[in-house]
Structure 1
């Protein structure tokens, strides 16, 4: 069942997708706004939120690296960013499927606004301990964890099924373009002024709130029967368990994301002086731009890759690209080689994201979109939250380069389940909703 079909009245939830579209259509006849205005508003809200996330992700890691020389403590920032997905990932889906998804995202943007504003105030007052970074990273990760299933559930309600690849391509393309700007800017801001960094985050939260106010329509599921919270928490996992293809993709993503988290947490120690690469904080931001440079063009490669190689190979190319990206710092201290690996990883990364987002949008019933997306993220990102801590501990014991090599090895091993489960036939089948 597509997200725009009329749901059965006996279902647990009846998503108000048709109502949202009808309201939009009625309003459009009396308004000069085009039909894609709602998607543009959603795209702007997503982009501004993502911009703040990436600025803070880099800036917080650099600031932690300034406060401590311990690889384990520095990796704690990345852990604080990712552990909310493990703690609240499943609950996020239930909340999304019980809430008006636009108002839900509005509340999260307001929470980020408070967090950035209070952090700015604390820094201006000269209070800047390491645990403040952990706290801010946790809130940032929490709001991102709750926002992403809401965004994923909103897209099929705003966009017709035939336009899902195009819409997700715009979203992912914008995200990679934003990374291209946010990464060097985050490094520059961290080297200039911590208070200014928090001010930029506050401004992004305000822009997100404004964009969501422009999103018209009602995006709340119509409650038919409220079931036990525990049952609803497991509903998304139960659906994934019944879909071997989606389950295999989620578990593979868990390993790759754990490796990515460890790589990102440790790279700041490896690349920024006095690390072996010897870069400044600003140049470290430019190094990470390599991933975004690759990602900007990759959003438009999905259709040619699927046409020439098949629907499974966006996932296969992602495994190869990420594995080579993690291998680069294990083999070299040359910034150009590490940056080249980042370009390759960025080039193949969004192929997976777009393909899986479209797959979930088509194969998951509208009433379960929030919970299934959250369950997928719980497995792929939440369970991977341990990656930065394990990577930091491994690097503390054996060194940074062996830790990068371990990340690459774990990623390349995902070619085995890719060969077994991610077949062309499975990617083209549509299970009954």
Structure 2
């Protein structure tokens, strides 16, 4: 029986993981530094701040599907991934340069955010099928757990690093860290030696190929359930996050510092979830881990809606909830990626991943608008109950009534 080399001893995987860890940390610095620059140094209006936020996710709606189709056409993915990192580094570096020259404006920040978001969409479309040539199929859940751990570490440490840099060198210059991180990521990916064995799909017209990706997700029961559940949690999660800060500050009367700690607890939970999932999935399989993790998804909404009493009690309760929810979300994400790689035909992986990204990322804006509107009409706490009910009544049945509830037996293709 074939026994692959442990991941920790695989040079190519270590390079790919290091690239993502460095890039994710830099992205967390910029995620705080860009809005701080816009709000405090450039006097951005609320409408401009909204445009700045939308600019990051808009590329998913504009080119997400096309990027997946192009990725499936390509024999080699690494050159495009490297190019995306280099372009991102270059455009991020224009922010401090423009600030020094007195040319920096909010539209400039919006344009930079849009370009970096576009590169991110393309990178993700190419990185997903590329993972299949770097990591053996039996090790993909562990590999994805490593990526999720890197993301969780970035979520925990990135905001603190960003705050320190903003205080010491100002927000525009803090973004140089992100530019450097993209350069380092490009160099690490360039060092990967695994031969790219992907068989490109024959070109049949971009829209024909996009329809094939859409059809594959809709027709396959497992992929359809994954996509539907992802859309559901992103919609209601976005609605929750649109109100979370104002709810925590004005309704629960939590200090801003405690709100930050609760957010960090989610990242810590993600690290624990990655560790637990990478071990348990070997015993119970990706399907069972995924179906169990979704049972915990309504927890954060319910705890926040029920929170009351002294500040310390509300803080302790929500921190524990964030820790558990972070572990559940990361466990779900790891199994989600592994099952998608397993279920998707090799020639459709890029398009299937892009289709899911298009639907799941595109719905974030709708969820945020829904949360804000319902919060205005009904109040903040009722929206949290709506989010809990939506996840419980839509997402959990979607997964538990699908083939994902059964064995993780792999397909024979």
Alignment TM-score > 0.5, same fold: yes
Gaps of 5+ in 1: 1-33
Match of 1:161 among 127, 137, 147: 137
Match of 1:53 in 2: 27
Contact 1:98–1:220 (CA under 8 A) maintained in structure 2: no
Contact 1:58–1:183 (CA under 8 A) maintained in structure 2: yes
Q: CA deviation at 1:258?
A: 2.0
Gaps of 5+ in 2: 1-7
Per-residue deviation, residues 123-161 of structure 1 (Å, max 9, x unmatched)? 344556544444343333322222223222111101112
CA distance in 2, matches of 1:224, 1:96: 9
Match of 1:172 in 2: 148
Match of 2:323 among 320, 332, 343: 343
Q: CA deviation at 1:45?
A: 1.6
Match of 2:203 in 1: 226
CA distance in 1, matches of 2:146, 2:330: 11
CA distance in 2, matches of 1:220, 1:385: 37
Call closer, same or farther: CA 1:248–1:157 in 2, change over 3 Å: same
Contact 2:134–2:194 (CA under 8 A) maintained in structure 1: no
Match of 1:245 in 2: 222
Is 1:109–2:85 an aligned residue pair?
yes
Match of 1:420 in 2: 401
Call closer, same or farther: CA 1:377–1:104 in 2, change over 3 Å: same
Call closer, same or farther: CA 1:329–1:223 in 2, change over 3 Å: closer
Equivalences, count: 399
Match of 1:261 in 2: 238
CA distance in 2, matches of 1:428, 1:87: 34
| TM-score normalised by L of structure 1 | 0.80
Is 1:358–2:338 an aligned residue pair?
yes
CA distance in 2, matches of 1:214, 1:396: 52
Contact 1:172–1:350 (CA under 8 A) maintained in structure 2: yes
Match of 1:85 among 35, 60, 63: 60
Per-residue deviation, residues 236-268 of structure 1 (Å, max 9, x unmatched)? 212112211111111111110122233334434
Is 1:216–2:193 an aligned residue pair?
yes
Q: CA deviation at 1:296?
A: 0.8
Q: CA deviation at 1:221?
A: 4.3
Q: CA deviation at 1:390?
A: 2.8
CA distance in 2, matches of 1:173, 1:61: 26
CA distance in 2, matches of 1:188, 1:284: 18
Match of 2:276 among 301, 315, 333: 301
CA distance in 2, matches of 1:309, 1:222: 32
Per-residue deviation, residues 327-355 of structure 1 (Å, max 9, x unmatched)? 44444474443333221211111111111
| TM-score normalised by L of structure 2 | 0.83
CA RMSD across the alignment? 3.4
Contact 1:101–1:154 (CA under 8 A) maintained in structure 2: yes
Per-residue deviation, residues 163-193 of structure 1 (Å, max 9, x unmatched)? 2222222222222222221133234445552
For 1:52-71, what aligned pairs fall within 5 Å after superposition?
Answer: 52-60=26-34
Match of 1:30 in 2: none
CA distance in 2, matches of 1:338, 1:73: 32
Match of 1:314 in 2: 289
Call closer, same or farther: CA 1:327–1:46 in 2, change over 3 Å: same
Q: Secondary structure at the match of 2:233?
A: helix
